[in-house]
A = this chain, B = another copy of it.
Amino acid sequence: MSEFKLHCFAESGNAYKAALMLELTEQDWDPVFVDFFKGQTREKEWREQVNEQGEVPVLEHAGQTLTQSALILEYLAEHTGQFGARDAAEKREIWRWMLFDNHKFTAYYAALRFIYCLKESGETDVTRFLRERATAAYRIVDAHLANTPFMVGGRLTIADLSLAGYVFMPEDTGIALEEFVHIEAWKGRIKALKGWQHPYDLMPRVAL
């Protein structure tokens, strides 16, 4: 039995944050497939037994169950001694970007991709709204990356892994990603890391 179990599915960029961290730090882990598209995370039983917040990722390790990608990332940084903060100021900076990611950067992009690309809604007022919000968040991260190779401390940290949740997803959300040149360069640096894998190669994918 592997040391870590990650409840996940390939289309979830939030799960990818944890999966990529496990992979980059060379942990012994297995995915547990969650059938999100058939409503598993909304089932009463799943919420009672796995996560009352109704979300992946969920990480099981050493008798503990952890949820929320940012907390899982911090837990793994502490456990592995990799990609975490070097001091209190850096820790705050890392969390500042993980919170911004949860609130805006990942949040709007993931909602847009889900509706527009996976549910194939076509263009609607909702997709236009989400694209505008996602784009505003992308601009802020792009401006930050104009001056630094990674988000915090000049090296890869869990802040990068959090923000990178959805940036490798192949679906076209209608955002002109090539305009965010600093994000594109940063994605290249992450992709070049030893052990990097694409979300669709790292986690089980349901046939839609």
Which residues of chain A have a CB within 8 Å of any CB of chain B? Answer: 52-54, 66-68, 70-71, 75, 92, 95-96, 99-100, 102-103, 107, 111, 124-126, 129, 133, 140, 143-144
Are A68 and B52 within 8 A (Cβ)?
no
Interchain nearest-CB distance for A29 vs B (Å): 20
Enumerate chain B residues within 8 angstroms of A133, measured Cβ to Cβ.
111
Interchain nearest-CB distance for A31 vs B (Å): 21
The 7 closest A-B pairs by CB, nearest first: A68-B99, A102-B103, A125-B125, A126-B129, A102-B102, A68-B96, A125-B126
* Contact A53-B140, Cβ < 8 Å, known A92-B66, A96-B71, A99-B102: yes
Measured CB to CB, the nearest residue on chain B to A67 is B96
Partner of A140, one of B52, B68, B75: B52
A68 to B107, CA, bound (A): 16
Interchain nearest-CB distance for A98 vs B (Å): 8
A181 to B192, CA, bound (A): 51
Interchain nearest-CB distance for A137 vs B (Å): 9
Are A95 and B71 within 8 A (Cβ)?
yes
Interchain nearest-CB distance for A78 vs B (Å): 10
Enumerate chain B residues within 8 angstroms of A95, measured Cβ to Cβ.
68, 70-71
Interchain nearest-CB distance for A130 vs B (Å): 9
Enumerate chain B residues within 8 angstroms of A52, measured Cβ to Cβ.
140, 143-144
Measured CB to CB, the nearest residue on chain B to A89 is B64
Known: A53-B100, A71-B92. 14 other contacts (CB 8 A): A52-B144, A53-B96, A68-B96, A68-B100, A70-B95, A70-B99, A71-B95, A71-B96, A99-B99, A99-B102, A102-B102, A102-B103, A103-B107, A126-B126
